Chain A
Amino acid sequence: MDTIFGVPTQALFGQLLIGLINGSFYALLSLGLAVIFGLLNIINFTHGAQYMMGAFCAWFLLNKLGVGYWWALAIAPLSVGAFGILIERLMIKHLYQLDHLYGLLLTFGLALIIQGLFRNEFGSAGLPYQVPAELAGGQNLGFMFLPKYRAWVIVASLVVCMATWFVIEKTKLGSYLRAGTENSQLVQAFGINVPRMITLTYGFGVGLAALAGVMAAPIYQVNPLMGGDLIIVVFAVVVIGGMGSILGAILTGFGLGVIEGLTKVFYPEASNTVIFIVMAIVLMIKPAGLFGTQK
């Protein structure tokens, strides 16, 4: 069998694919963060908790109301997004004029509280959530067994990422949004309700986190800690991609998933540090991140 650096090529393909799957979660989560930071200038540390809430929402829908996975994909982002809007209206909006640090402290505190409440109620072992029947099982690709559900995750994540990028960069609505963050007074003078637009954007970013949560529920446990474990990595992804850069967040998300996947083959012990090593290197060479622009 052919080998690359002592690893069979076939195994390597499998690992690349797995890297892409994990990368799609990174991409989806960092996308939400990038949208929120790019348009609101808020470093949303509650993102991990909102991702977790999305997963719990799916669990509730299934176990308490008998509503399945496909509806959860729509309902969870909407309800968690609504919760996000509430937080934005009540708390975050008072911080826009202040230093980033205040937003960071507020959202980080909120994340701790939400996570603590869920842990208190549900414990840390998590709750089971089955893969929906339509996506159970998998396909033998020859070099690896690909669960259908994971394939779906890659496709869904790519579609959502691309659609978001398109809306923000290429449509009129997107141009309002971008203009609103550049100079909100001027845009308001054109008769556009900027505060409402910002609130909805925050809700959308949070909804993306919840969507990722629903997609993660069948793969990982529905666990109060799931967001806290992931959020640091996702922040590293955003920093590497360039804070606020939407395309940067998507591409680095997938790219780092692959790099992490390969590390798991060649030097597994370093697989949870490799992203931070990449981050340090990138920041040394390009302090604004790969796709960021220096302000």
Chain B
Amino acid sequence: MAFKKTMLAAAVAALVAGTAQAQVSDGVIRIGVMNDMSGLYADIAGPGSATAARMAVEDFGAAKKGMKVEILSADHQNKPDIGSAVVQKWYDVDKVDAVFDVPTSSVALAVSEITRKKGKAFIVSGAATADLTGKACSPNTIHWTYDTWMLANGTGNAIVKTGGDSWFFLTADYAFGHALERDTEAVVLKSGGKVLGKVRHPFPGTDFSSFLLQAQASKAKIIGLANAGGDTINSIKQAAEFGIVKGGQSLAGMLVFITDIHGLGLNTAQGLIFTETFYWDLNDQTRAWTKRFAPANGGRYPSMVQAGVYSAVLHYLKAIEAAKTDDGTKVIAKMKELPTDDPLFGKGRVRQDGRKIHPAYLVEVKKPSESKGPYDYYKIRATIPAEQAFRPEKEGGCPLVK
């Protein structure tokens, strides 16, 4: 009998000690950065996103505050099945607390579902589909850097206003391309433009000339590229080759990253207009951060996705510090409660639907003669204030918004 009592006491003591001493599960905060590490989106996110996450942990001063943070990274190869398997293992075996980045919308939607079921945290930087904060929103997911609605709204509006009122879409045939096409089409129609046709190309593709000819034949003023990364680069390059721009049609890259411009060269890319939420040359803080980031990323400057991972990890750690727990659902709730503030995106907030808001920038690619140094690529044409840059909370159809 006495033995049983001691055992019980010991068990209770262990339980109390466990909860009192560490709200952080097993004493370590594990962050998993998953993206395309080797394929066509590897420059946009890739190892650079993991580097950005590491910098955030360092700048947060986790070690000084006695927090142990580990960063894991994995390659999802842009395939939802591989991405799901990695994340399942991370949550079940490796005790990962939060997953970051995840470009490729189809993968991000799958990860969001798993994260909700496991009660963990998922902060998206790389993926674009606005459905993540719309009909597929989740109390465990925050969409950080940009989305298809924001791109469509920023770029689409600007182009229709300057006379580009008839469109033809060249769309990557998966969740992201479809969402971007849908959101852009809505903007075009709303501003009085019309859509003359669309063609969906396999993802990833290499030769776009066939699709470009179809676009050319449509006589649309604007050819909207609802694709990304290597697909966008090749579309733009081949459009130049087939004299499409000289023929009077214009290209609208709906999602273009600075790494794409770097790959294209200013000669081909000059004059392109698109929307970004981060540019390294915005202010002293972004320049200083980039100066630290680039050497750690093989000399390549940060994309908005990588900058977004930095800013998101910083806010995530702040929320854990404030909430004193790393429970996924609670931390996400705390992240929505706390205002955001970091050197790269400035002040902002996370809405109930999981959308993080900050200003967006309509940029134009400089002429080669205007560029003064490496990566001096953009002229900022307009700044869209945070509250207008993203889809109004009520219009998304997210059940979390009351």
| Residue among B199, B207, B247 making CB contact with A22, cutoff 8 Å | B207
The interface bits of chain B over 237-269 (1 if a CB of A lies within 8 angstroms of the residue's CB, else 0) are: 110011100010000000000011011110110
Interface presence of B214 (CB below 8 A): yes
The interface bits of chain B over 192-232 (1 if a CB of A lies within 8 angstroms of the residue's CB, else 0) are: 00000001111011110111011011000000000001100
User: Contact between B263 and A11 (Cβ–Cβ < 8 Å)?
Assistant: no
Interface presence of A109 (CB below 8 A): no
User: Contact between B260 and A18 (Cβ–Cβ < 8 Å)?
Assistant: no
Name the distance in Å between B168's Cβ and chain A's nearest Cβ: 13
Write out the residue numbers on chain A whose beta carbons fall within 8 Å of the beta carbon of B199: 268
| Residue among B39, B202, B242 making CB contact with A271, cutoff 8 Å | B202
Write out the residue numbers on chain A whose beta carbons fall within 8 Å of the beta carbon of B188: none
| Residue among B39, B211, B242 making CB contact with A124, cutoff 8 Å | B39
**Chain B residues numbered 22-47 whose CB sits less than 8 Å from any CB in chain A:** 38-43, 46
Partner-contacting stretch, out of A65-73, A175-183, A223-231: A223-231
User: Contact between B205 and A145 (Cβ–Cβ < 8 Å)?
Assistant: no
User: Contact between B243 and A138 (Cβ–Cβ < 8 Å)?
Assistant: yes
Q: With A125-B262, A264-B210, A269-B200 as given contacts, are A145 and B242 in contact (CB-CB < 8 Å)? A: yes
| Residue among A15, A130, A221 making CB contact with B267, cutoff 8 Å | A130
Q: With A124-B43, A221-B234, A225-B230 as given contacts, are A271 and B201 in contact (CB-CB < 8 Å)? A: yes
Q: With A119-B38, A125-B262, A125-B263 as given contacts, are A18 and B209 in contact (CB-CB < 8 Å)? A: yes
Write out the residue numbers on chain B whose beta carbons fall within 8 Å of the beta carbon of A268: 173, 199-202, 211
User: Contact between A128 and B242 (Cβ–Cβ < 8 Å)?
Assistant: no
Name the distance in Å between A146's Cβ and chain B's nearest Cβ: 9
User: Contact between A15 and B210 (Cβ–Cβ < 8 Å)?
Assistant: yes
Return the 8 tightest CB-CB contacts between A and B, nearest first.
A125-B263, A128-B265, A272-B202, A264-B210, A124-B42, A125-B43, A123-B43, A125-B259
* A144, B247: Cα distance in complex, Å: 12
| Residue among A261, A265, A272 making CB contact with B205, cutoff 8 Å | A272
28 A-B interface contacts by CB (under 8 A): A11-B217, A15-B210, A18-B210, A119-B38, A123-B42, A124-B40, A124-B41, A125-B43, A125-B262, A126-B230, A126-B263, A127-B263, A128-B237, A128-B263, A128-B265, A128-B267, A138-B241, A147-B241, A147-B242, A219-B237, A221-B234, A221-B263, A223-B230, A225-B40, A225-B230, A265-B210, A268-B200, A271-B210
**Chain A residues numbered 52-99 whose CB sits less than 8 Å from any CB in chain B:** none
**B38 to chain A: closest residue by CB:** A119
Write out the residue numbers on chain A whose beta carbons fall within 8 Å of the beta carbon of B217: 8, 11, 14
User: Contact between B241 and A149 (Cβ–Cβ < 8 Å)?
Assistant: yes
Write out the residue numbers on chain A whose beta carbons fall within 8 Å of the beta carbon of B66: none
Name the distance in Å between B231's Cβ and chain A's nearest Cβ: 11
User: Contact between A15 and B213 (Cβ–Cβ < 8 Å)?
Assistant: yes
Interface presence of A21 (CB below 8 A): yes
User: Contact between B209 and A230 (Cβ–Cβ < 8 Å)?
Assistant: no
| Residue among A144, A219, A223, A230 making CB contact with B213, cutoff 8 Å | A144
Write out the residue numbers on chain B whose beta carbons fall within 8 Å of the beta carbon of A149: 241
Name the distance in Å between A63's Cβ and chain B's nearest Cβ: 11
**A21 to chain B: closest residue by CB:** B209
**Chain A residues numbered 200-223 whose CB sits less than 8 Å from any CB in chain B:** 219-221, 223
Interface presence of A259 (CB below 8 A): no
* A158, B41: Cα distance in complex, Å: 35
Write out the residue numbers on chain A whose beta carbons fall within 8 Å of the beta carbon of B39: 124, 225
User: Contact between B241 and A125 (Cβ–Cβ < 8 Å)?
Assistant: no
* A163, B39: Cα distance in complex, Å: 36
| Residue among B173, B234, B259, B260 making CB contact with A220, cutoff 8 Å | B234
Interface presence of B163 (CB below 8 A): no
Most-contacted residue by chain A among B41, B209, B234, B242 (CB, 10 A): B209
Write out the residue numbers on chain B whose beta carbons fall within 8 Å of the beta carbon of A120: 298
* A265, B212: Cα distance in complex, Å: 11
Interface presence of B300 (CB below 8 A): yes
* A75, B214: Cα distance in complex, Å: 37
Interface presence of B233 (CB below 8 A): yes
User: Contact between A269 and B202 (Cβ–Cβ < 8 Å)?
Assistant: yes
Write out the residue numbers on chain A whose beta carbons fall within 8 Å of the beta carbon of B201: 264, 268, 271
Most-contacted residue by chain B among A15, A124, A272 (CB, 10 A): A124
User: Contact between A124 and B213 (Cβ–Cβ < 8 Å)?
Assistant: no
Write out the residue numbers on chain A whose beta carbons fall within 8 Å of the beta carbon of B202: 268-269, 271-273
* A123, B213: Cα distance in complex, Å: 30
Write out the residue numbers on chain B whose beta carbons fall within 8 Å of the beta carbon of A124: 38-43, 46, 229-230
* A99, B211: Cα distance in complex, Å: 43
* A144, B212: Cα distance in complex, Å: 11
Interface presence of A114 (CB below 8 A): no
Interface presence of A282 (CB below 8 A): no
Instruction: Kindly list 12 other residue pairs between chains A and B, CB separation below 8 angstroms, not including A128-B237, A225-B230, A268-B202.
Output: A119-B42, A120-B298, A123-B259, A124-B42, A125-B260, A126-B233, A127-B263, A128-B264, A128-B265, A145-B242, A271-B210, A272-B205
* A119, B42: Cα distance in complex, Å: 9
Write out the residue numbers on chain A whose beta carbons fall within 8 Å of the beta carbon of B42: 119, 123-124
Most-contacted residue by chain A among B38, B43, B207 (CB, 10 A): B207
Interface presence of A197 (CB below 8 A): no
* A65, B265: Cα distance in complex, Å: 19
User: Contact between B43 and A147 (Cβ–Cβ < 8 Å)?
Assistant: no
* A256, B205: Cα distance in complex, Å: 16
* A229, B38: Cα distance in complex, Å: 12
User: Contact between A221 and B233 (Cβ–Cβ < 8 Å)?
Assistant: yes
**B297 to chain A: closest residue by CB:** A123
Most-contacted residue by chain A among B173, B214, B259, B263 (CB, 10 A): B263
User: Contact between B210 and A261 (Cβ–Cβ < 8 Å)?
Assistant: yes
* A19, B259: Cα distance in complex, Å: 30
